[in-house]
Structure 1
Amino acid sequence: MLNTRKFKLAGATAMAAIMVGSFGLFGCSSNSAEEAQPAEGQAAEQTAEPQEQVQLQIFAANSLEKALDEVQALYTEQTGVTFADTQYEASGTLNEMLGGGATADIEITASKGTMDTAVEEGYVDESTRFDMFTNDLVIVAGTDSDIDEITLEEAASGDYKIAVGDDNVPAGNYAKQALSTVGAWVDEEGTVGAESDGKGGTFDGTPLEGKVTEGKSVGDVCSYANTGDVDLAFVYSSDVYRFGNVKIVGTVPADACKAIVYPAAVCANTENADAAQAFLDWAVSDEDALKIWQEWGFELA
């Protein structure tokens, strides 16, 4: 993996089925009101107990799509548990879907802020929340670009057209936080860097005025760099694995934005709470599942 500093609304509700027999539940620690970590003392590799007649619906951040698809397939092979059409959207959109009445068993977002909102709105069970992965924010260019190495300051100088995610895309929030530290984005509340939420500000009056394209997903942002519509794009390091045709030309300093963390939690409206928790516990402990996450550029938190 890189060492850089690095639903379609499914109209149908998640299929809830009666579980036949009993199965092992891998408990979560409740040491913190905010985050519950997988139970201590678990073996690095955890063999999933067979489940019957359960189908799980997961709402997950866009950037998890390819890795999570593979992990779900592995879990189905091991347990028989199947998954409804997993919804991959910007984290803010996932909350909007849940707030609009959509049902799911698990939510995995790409920022603590969006999971905080999910907790506050009652979309997820706070006692099941834990930080699942970390990621890095990088600057990419198309593979044919003449740019091979660039700093945050240079990217924000106004000499380049750039792409970032819009306010519903956590990667875009992180990018705006970082750009604020070099005077290229202005928070409406006057905060800078990690103190900002990276939303609601402006590029007007900065060197990047008129030179920024905002995408509705990290996939869109990557594609703008790939096609040459922009010179540079701010995305996660894992996105380079997902989309290809872009190259990393710079890494955003870790202290320029909030820590990039993917929290997960069991949804409050689920009828499959035990099965949902069992999947989450397995996903961060099974040896083969861990290899998949790593191959797609994700590190366990």
Structure 2
Amino acid sequence: MFASSFRRFILTGLTLLAIGAAPPPSAPLVLAAASLQESLDAAADAWARAGHPRPVISFAASSALARQIEAGAPADLFVSADEEWMDALATKRLVAAGTRADLVGNRLVVVEPAGRHTAIPLNGARLARVLGGGPLAMADPDSVPAGEYGKAALEKLGAWTTIAPHVVRAENVRAALALVERGAAPFGIVYLTDAKASSRVRVAGVFPAASHPPIVYPVARLTRSTNPQAEGFRRFLLSSAGRAVFARFGFTAPRR
């Protein structure tokens, strides 16, 4: 009887030691568009306060992140600033089936350094005269979503041909914003949420929503993901609590 009790004691102790030594759940890795920096960090903080491992987030242009995923980056979630790059990954079966969803929307604006007060006429020739007078900072209009939206808007308004030679192409929308903040460019085209995140620029004009394709940020879990925390965080982002975090930073409901 004593031997049996002793064995139970030893087994219980070993079990408790095993539980105590078990590593905590690993944090999911999220690759996200640069324009989501403050909002997604805030969402990750909220998720962590609920007792979950705080996601590790890497921010860059959606195009660069999509190429990293194609090259085998061991990420769990991808949040793109447009649908094109998510489509490209889905075509290659790199997006887990049934996990793609529209997260938020945004607006496109012209910014200038704080302290200036230029009135931006958002129509053809007049717009071209104002923005074509000096460097215009934009994310790369041939590959980065913010730049592609900006180019589409300028084409729609009849100003792209005149302005194009003066465009300074940045690697992502935050790099374009930084050029205006430093005074290296008198104007820039960024998202409204980027402008709200900086005290060193002001919004000089808001592009009509109809002048460019709808700005939609899709989120999805990646096929290679094996982290059980990833799906929970994805669902949190899409929940009312998650969307409320993005709304605080100026993001809108996704528009179709």
* Residue aligned with 1:138, SS: strand
Count of aligned pairs between the two proteins: 228
1:152, 1:252 within 8 Å by CA — same for their partners in 2? no
Indicate the structure (1 or 2) with the bigger Cα radius of gyration. 2
Q: Distance in 1 between matches of 2:74 and 2:152?
A: 32
Aligned-pair CA distance for 1:173: 0.4
Q: Distance in 1 between matches of 2:123 and 2:179?
A: 18
Aligned to 1:55: 27
Aligned to 1:271: 226
Matched to 2:229, the amino acid is A
Give the alignment partner of residue 215 of structure 2, picking from 244, 260, 263. 260
Matched to 1:300, the amino acid is A
* Residue aligned with 1:271, SS: coil
1:215 counterpart = 2:186: no
Q: Distance in 2 between matches of 1:105 and 1:128?
A: 12
The two structures, once aligned, show a CA RMSD in angstroms of: 1.9
Aligned to 1:24: none
1:284, 1:300 within 8 Å by CA — same for their partners in 2? no
Aligned-pair CA distance for 1:144: 2.3
1:79-118 superposed matches below 5 A: 79-84=51-56, 86-118=57-89
Identical aligned residues as a percent? 27
Aligned to 1:71: 43
Aligned-pair CA distance for 1:98: 0.8
Matched to 2:48, the amino acid is T
Q: Deviations over 1:95-147 (max 9, x none)?
A: 11111121111000000111111111222114210100000001111112241
Q: Distance in 2 between matches of 1:174 and 1:117?
A: 18
The normalised TM-score by structure 2 is: 0.82
1:60, 1:94 within 8 Å by CA — same for their partners in 2? yes
Moved over 6 A (4+): none
* Residue aligned with 1:92, SS: helix
> 1:228/1:58 Cα in 2 relative to 1: closer, same or farther (>3 Å)?
same
* Residue aligned with 1:299, SS: coil
Aligned-pair CA distance for 1:149: 4.1
1:156, 1:182 within 8 Å by CA — same for their partners in 2? no
1:155, 1:232 within 8 Å by CA — same for their partners in 2? no
2:106, 2:216 within 8 Å by CA — same for their partners in 1? yes
Unaligned runs of 5+ in 2: 1-18
Aligned to 1:300: 253
2:123, 2:158 within 8 Å by CA — same for their partners in 1? no
Aligned-pair CA distance for 1:266: 0.4
The normalised TM-score by structure 1 is: 0.71
Aligned to 2:202: 247
* Residue aligned with 1:265, SS: strand
1:1-301 superposed matches below 5 A: 53-84=25-56, 86-153=57-124, 154-157=126-129, 158-166=132-140, 167-185=142-160, 206-272=161-227, 274-287=228-241, 289-301=242-254
* Residue aligned with 1:107, SS: strand
Q: Distance in 2 between matches of 1:118 and 1:300?
A: 23
Aligned-pair CA distance for 1:270: 0.4
Aligned-pair CA distance for 1:178: 0.9
1:218, 1:235 within 8 Å by CA — same for their partners in 2? yes
Q: Which has the higher helix share?
A: 2
Unaligned runs of 5+ in 1: 1-19, 21-51, 186-205
